[in-house]
Structure 1
Amino acid sequence: MNRLKPILYLIGGGILLYLVSLLFSDILIYIIISMIISTILRPLVSYLNSLYFYGYKLPKIFTIIISFSVLIGFIILFVGLFIPLVSEQIQILSKLDYDNLYSKITTPIQAVEVFLIDSIPNIGSEGFIIDRLKDSIYSFVQTVDVSYILNNLISITGSIFVAILAISFITFFLLYEKGLARRKLIQLIPNKYFEVSMGAIYKIEKLLSNYLLGLLFQMISIFTIASVGLSILGIKYAITIAVFAAVANLIPYAGPILGASFGIIVGVTTGGIFEFNNELLILVIKIISVFAVVQITDNILLQPLIFSKSVKAHPLEIFVIIFAGASLAGVIGMVAAIPVYTIIRVILIELYQGYTQYKIFQN
């Protein structure tokens, strides 16, 4: 029975953690995001703390505020990249000849109608497909509840504001206390499990750190390849498309498709090509070719380097874990699947090795 205690404790702790995560899912998400942000900002805070200005060191609270300001500056820069694009899209939409666009859309539909009427007796009269589409669109518009949408927008805005405040406070505390929470957690570990637990904590921190650095390297590489390739081929807003593709690539498997789709939509709309012709085909081929190079580089070089080397897991493991995360929590589950799996995997390995190697567990 004594041999089973560590395993029973681990199972009980896992069940308790799962129940807590269900009850306080929002808070858990805030803590995880804050831990990631604090990990990113900590090197900058430590560097600023080591500097002297006229013989005096800056108070830690000021170094944290400066680090937050740098982060906010990057976010503003990121959002600012999309403002000209959105503005141009609005101008394009306002100048569109909707009658001409409607004619171009309905022409192939009318051709299909004529073919079906000629091929299948009594299928309907001319215009039956277009009329049904009109009726469906009109019915959908009538069912839209504007007040419900506005209430949801207000609710979402309030939730985002609360999330920003909570994440900012937790991140500030994690940066200011400098490992106090970690030390308190370590103090709770019984002496019998101290060595095994410290080994697990050390390996988890190392692997997660390597994984975050790998993701950063992956984003920079994708941004570089996409921006250079699109710029050479003369695609407008190449930098904006590349930034979106690099961020979207954080979503495994679906990210590259989102990045390429966004690039095609932006390239087509800003190019002012709204009918299928050779010019449109060449433009789409240019954008797809760039993202094909991005995808090949990511699959052959970047992902094996990040997942296999930093996380030390087989590609098939990664594939199964990502889709399991997607089935449990959607896009957030896909992004968080690998770090969570890494933590669980290290804990189980360390527990098994500690149980088989240390005699104290067998007494």
Structure 2
Amino acid sequence: MNSKTIAYGILRAVAIIIGVLGLLWFLYKIQSVLIYIAFASVISLMGRPLVLFLKKKLKFKNSLAVITTLLIVIGLFLSIFMLFVPIISEQGQLIGEIDINKLGDDINRFNQEVSAYFKIEKLNFVELIKQTDLMQFFDLKAIPNAINSFLSGFGAVLIGLFSVLFISFFLLKDSLLLENSLLVLAKKEDENRFMRAFTKIKDLLSRYFVGLLLQIIILFILYTILLLIFGVHNAIAVALIAAICNLIPYVGPLFGGVFVIILAITSNLGFDFQTVILPKITYILIGYLIIQLIDNFLNQPLIFGNSVKSHPLEIFLAILIFGLLFGIGGLIVAVPFYTAIKVIAKEFLSEYKIVKTLTKDL
């Protein structure tokens, strides 16, 4: 091997490294655009069955079906937002009417009753607040900066919402737009397999996201019934937050349960701990656990098993691995990414035995 060949190989390797680093830098700089595309893709996958229904059953034209679907999506999000507006307003009014001395007495009494019932050392909430440096959040000098940050963040949210809806419209209108855009990355001889894989992924993920939406609706209804029975304030909003927490597998229900218990305690802070608060918390916790069992043994197997055609053990291991690698975000995207990997493996690596075993139901 002569010196020219070695030099050419070195230059080629350096050029490849620089190209990869440049691509990663470019993707990092446009990460917000990639997030918009990801959200738009999810909306298009969830809205796809509705678009097909409007076109086939109600004979809507393509553009009208897409616009109707997006209006329904916008209406859904607006309904959720409007659900919280009166609650935030009510909480603001309640905060303004709080008697600080009475609140302090209620907290101290609750602290004493809990300590006496469980026979533990009394917690000093004042010292706890000092240790966590919570007072730094009440620095009046920081208020102008907080207002500016809020206004700039609100503008960014508006731009993001418009971008997501704009991209979603064209993804729903032209179902092959994303496939054709990504087809440039495939070799000529692999285009047919690439299209089959992408169509299969789109179909499976569409069913998965629709099933996920159905799961949240079912949990929302069950949580609302539970919280209304035990008189938790703002039961509908609390139930919605707890249901949305279930988007994060395994960890989300834990966060939702803690949130529900905290709200249940604050809703009954002035009552006796042993005769009122503890029994109510116990019943709410039992009801919450029963709902989680219903979700784990009925909802999730139907959604994960039938929509993405994967064994529950596969799903569990995929979620566990993605969670360890990428944290909370990995838990959320584990199922869609694992499904995409399985479909691609079936199309391009079907000669391997392990791939045949894992993808036999696809």
Q: TM-score, normalised by structure 1?
A: 0.73
In structure 1, what is the equivalent of residue 315 of structure 2? 318
**Deviation, structure 1 residue 37:** 1.0
1:289: how far off? 1.9
CA displacement, residues 274-300 of structure 1 (integer Å, 9 cap, x when unaligned): 663421112212321221111111222
AA of the residue aligned to 1:149: A
Unaligned runs of 5+ in 2: 1-16, 114-123, 356-362
Name the residue aligned to 2:250. Answer: 253
Gaps of 5+ in 1: 1-11, 112-127, 358-363
Shift of 1:197: 2.6
Contact 1:268/1:274 (CA < 8 Å) preserved in 2? no
Percent identity over the alignment?
Answer: 34
Q: Is contact 1:88–1:270 with CA below 8 Å preserved after alignment?
A: no
Over 3 Å counting, the alpha-carbon distance change for 1:273 and 1:66 in structure 2 is farther
Alignment of 1:274-285 (within 5 A): 276-285=273-282
Higher alpha-carbon deviation: 76-85 or 304-313: 304-313
Tell me the equivalent position of 1:117.
none
TM-score (norm 2): 0.73
For the Cα contact (< 8 Å) 1:104–1:275, is it kept in 2? no
Report the 3-state secondary structure (helix = DSSP H, G, I; strand = E; otherwise coil) of the residue aligned with 1:145: helix
The 1:17/1:100 distance shift into structure 2, 3 A limit, reads same
- Structure 1 residues 184 and 83 mapped into 2: Cα distance closer, same or farther (>3 Å)? closer
Corresponding position of 1:88: 90
**Alignment match of 1:335 (pick from 332, 335, 341):** 332
Amino acid at match of 1:297: I
Amino acid at match of 2:76: F
Q: Structure 1 residues 273, 284: CA separation in 2 closer, same or farther (over 3 Å shift)?
A: farther
Shift of 1:313: 4.0
How far apart, CA to CA, are the structure 1 residues paired with 2:175 and 2:55? 12
Q: CA RMSD, aligned part only?
A: 4.0
What is the DSSP-based 3-state SS (H/G/I as helix, E as strand, rest coil) of the residue aligned with 1:85? helix
Q: CA deviation at 1:72?
A: 1.8
Partners of 1:273 and 1:280 within 8 A in 2: no
1:24 aligns with 2:35: no
Structure 1 residues 238 and 17 mapped into 2: Cα distance closer, same or farther (>3 Å)?
farther
Structure 1 pair 337/25, CA: closer, same or farther in 2 (3 Å)? farther
Matched, 1:221 2:223: no
CA contact (8 A) 2:45 2:209 kept: no
Match of 1:65 among 64, 67, 83: 67
2:237 corresponds to: 240
- Check if 1:168 corresponds to 2:165: yes
2:155 aligned residue (158, 183, 199):
158
Q: Is the Cα contact below 8 Å between 1:260 and 1:287 reproduced in 2?
A: no
Aligned residues: 327
Deviations 1:283-334 (A, max 9, x none): 2123212211111112222223333443344545434543554455544332
